[in-house]
Structure 1
Amino acid sequence: MSETETVVFVVDDDQDIRVSLSRALRMRGYTVEAYDSAQAFLEAYDESRIGCLVLDYGLPGMSGLELQAHINRAGFPLPIIFITGHGGVPESVQAMKGGAVDFLEKPFRQSVLAERIETACRMAVEMTAAAGRRRDIDSRFDRLTAREREIVDFMVGHPGEVTSKEIGRTLDISPRTVDHHRARILEKLELRSVVELIDLAKGLPRGA
């Protein structure tokens, strides 16, 4: 297991399965939290905690696939392993298209589940780190004024035309004003060069 503390969240409406699965996973050294419904899980979930989700496909109320869709929309860094007693090929295909680590049919071997959990926990650590980097990038770009962001957008979109004269001609401002803005941009973003700026901006989605 990773040295980073991770949590295995188990969501299954069958109490016997929740209890047995939680016990087995704790014996393997995992920290486990179990819930009997998708809603109960969502009410308790804190995305700052790193972990993965072992999710029953056939939940009453909000189904496993609906919970997966909710997690994807929210952008939670939470890899999912589906478990089911009655899922078929269409369901498994939909789950995997949604990014599930695996779709296991009951009964399954505990060793197989443990292997998938190890994979999911590693993914969770990587996803959480990536989300942290993204928040850092967002917070730095939020410091820019509208004009500074306009200059950044131009430089990123036209990496071969980043001199102050070229930028000033396009934006109808003087090269000296561009120089001032460029210096402030690098200072606010804590960067040393335009090359670093372009690399950093690539971490932002289009339209951000």
Structure 2
Amino acid sequence: MTTRPPLVFIVDDDQDIRTSLTRALGQRGYEVEAYASAASFLDAYDGTRAACLVLDYGMPGMNGLELQQELNRRNWPLAVVFITGHGGVPESVQAMKGGAVDFLEKPFRQSDLLDRIATAYQMASARMADTASQDALRERFARLTDREAEVVNHVLANPAEVSSKEIGGALGISPRTVDHHRARILEKIGVKSLVELVRLAATLQDDGPLRP
């Protein structure tokens, strides 16, 4: 299978910037897509590939910071490098707080931008891999029945009460039934112990209690 080249998006309302960066990055082996506005970029990108986004701060309509906020909301596998001709300290601070790799003022050295793009693409790829791992884990927990999910939630909420007798007493079922559920849970999640189960389930706690 052929490996696709690293993807870089350029979103800038300056045609000359789009043209020069597209040419320079293409010569260095990047796959490049350029857009004149945030809206046109959002219409084209679906979040299925990791990418670096070279983003102009000062654009008409939705500006760069507003686009960054929208992308963070969508949790897409992108890392942003801002470029700007008139951004100040408050804007750069806000961009960095939003997770931007850097905030470069025009004119910038091409070598500086290339360094930031390489870093950004690595970050985006790592983010996509982490998201894929979390999605796969959610799918494994989604195989649990309602009762099995209850058992897991009890263990997470009461780490000092993990014996079959304690779990059974809390859920109103027999210890033998708990043993059966526990074995099925470990099998479905693909772990060998409650310790491993708790470690994996804890990474999904931001989603709230587990549900099948």
Tell me the TM-score normalised to structure 1 length: 0.94
Question: Secondary structure, in 3 states, of the residue corresponding to 1:55?
Answer: strand
Q: Which residue of 2 aligns with 1:112?
A: 112
Matched residue type, 1:164: S
Residue type of the partner of 1:50? A
| Paired position in structure 2 for 1:158 | 158
SS in 2 for 1:9: strand
Q: 1:5 to 1:134 in 2, by over 3 A?
A: farther
Give CA deviations for 1:122-174 in whole Å, capped at 9, x if unaligned.
Answer: 11111111011000011111111222112111212333321101111122221
Q: Would the aligned equivalents of 2:49 and 2:77 in 1 still touch at CA under 8 Å?
A: no
Distance across 2 between alignment mates of 1:200 and 1:4: 32
Q: How far apart, CA to CA, are the structure 2 residues paired with 1:28 and 1:186?
A: 48
Q: Distance in 2 between matches of 1:33 and 1:174?
A: 60
Query: 2:58 is paired with a residue of what secondary structure?
Result: coil
Could you list the runs of 5+ residues in structure 2 that have no partner in the other structure? none
- Note the 1:127-142 alignment, pairs <5 A: 127-142=127-142
The answer for the alignment partner of 1:172 in structure 2 is 172
| Rounded Cα–Cα distance in structure 1 between residues aligned with 2:124 and 2:4 | 10
User: Equivalent residue for 2:72?
Assistant: 72
How far apart, CA to CA, are the structure 1 residues paired with 2:4 and 2:98?
A: 26
Work out whether residues 57 and 63 of structure 2, in 8 Å CA contact, stay in contact via their aligned partners in 1: yes
Partner of 2:148: 148
Distance 2:189 2:205 in 1: 17
Correspondence for 2:96: 96
- Name the structure 2 match of 1:85: 85
* Residue aligning to 1:190: 190
* Equivalent position SS for 1:79: strand
CA distance, structure 2, for counterparts of residue 138 and residue 5 of structure 1:
30
1:26 aligned partner: 26
Moved over 3 A (4+): none
- Structure-2 separation of matches of 1:109 and 1:193: 54
In structure 2, the partner of 1:201 is 201
Between 102-111 and 38-47, the greater mean CA deviation after superposition: 38-47
Name the residue aligned to 2:6: 6
**What SS does the corresponding residue of 2:117 show, helix, strand or coil?**
helix
TM-score calculated relative to the size of structure 2: 0.92
Counterpart Cα distance in 2 of 1:4 and 1:192: 37
Instruction: Give % identity.
Output: 63
Give the Cα separation in 1 of the matches to 2:84 and 2:198.
Answer: 46
Query: In angstroms, what is the RMSD of aligned CA positions?
Result: 1.4
Partner Cα separation in structure 2 for residue 89 and residue 205 of structure 1: 36
Deviations 1:31-56 (A, max 9, x none): 11101111111111132212110000
